[in-house]
Structure 1
Amino acid sequence: MAAERIGHNGGPPLEEENDGGWGLFIWRKAHKRAWKTPPREIALRRLERAEALGMSYKAYTLEILERGRHL
């Protein structure tokens, strides 16, 4: 197996070589859990903050997931 580069997140390869094994299953499960719909109050708060920053809700949520903190 080739050595993984620094910063590699261990996700499935982007090529179609993936056999649909355990790694892909775990990756999809984590993706689904990360994008799970939050409670109504949190979603409304994020939407309000995203609009104030001139971003879409999805882009703002992605920033939260990538950085681990609110903008």
Structure 2
Amino acid sequence: MPEVTLKSTAIEQASPDNTIAAGHNGGPPLDDRHRPEWGDGGIGNYFYWKAAHRRAWHNLSPGIVAFRIQKAERLGLTYEEYTLEILERGRHLQIEDVERIAEIKQARAARKRG
């Protein structure tokens, strides 16, 4: 049985459908089709933003996460919506923030529809 596998591999490599040129190491293409992780523009502040995102979303203590989940549920929001409000506006929503909570819920409904 191993001989069949070896033969089929040799046939695949020699087939005319295989477009790898002689001397090619089989690595990724080096032409313009490759797009770096930070996009088409310059690298700029990419790694600063990536580190900030990691600190904001992934390196939180379990106590902070539990507090935010509990608070978000009381307000009728998701954890992500509540946390984004803290990160974007710098304040924790309260029960009295009826208008802002309604805006967030309307935006959620609009995202689900379309």
| TM-score, normalising length: structure 1 | 0.64
User: Which runs of 5 or more structure 1 residues have no equivalent in the other structure?
Assistant: 1-15
User: Which runs of 5 or more structure 2 residues have no equivalent in the other structure?
Assistant: 1-38, 94-114
Query: Any runs of at least 4 consecutive aligned residues in structure 1 with deviations exceeding 3 A, and if so which?
Result: none
1:25 Cα deviation from its structure 2 partner:
1.5
> How many residues are aligned here?
55
Map of 1:48 onto structure 2: 70
Map of 1:69 onto structure 2: 91
Map of 1:27 onto structure 2: 49
| TM-score, normalising length: structure 2 | 0.43
Q: Deviations over 1:24-63 (max 9, x none)?
A: 1212111211212421222111111100111001111111
Identity of aligned residues (%): 47
- SS of corresponding position for 1:63: helix
Map of 2:41 onto structure 1: 18
Give the alignment's Cα RMSD to 1 decimal: 1.6
Bigger share in helix: 2
For the residues of structure 1 that align with 2:60 and 2:41, how far apart are their CA atoms?
Answer: 31
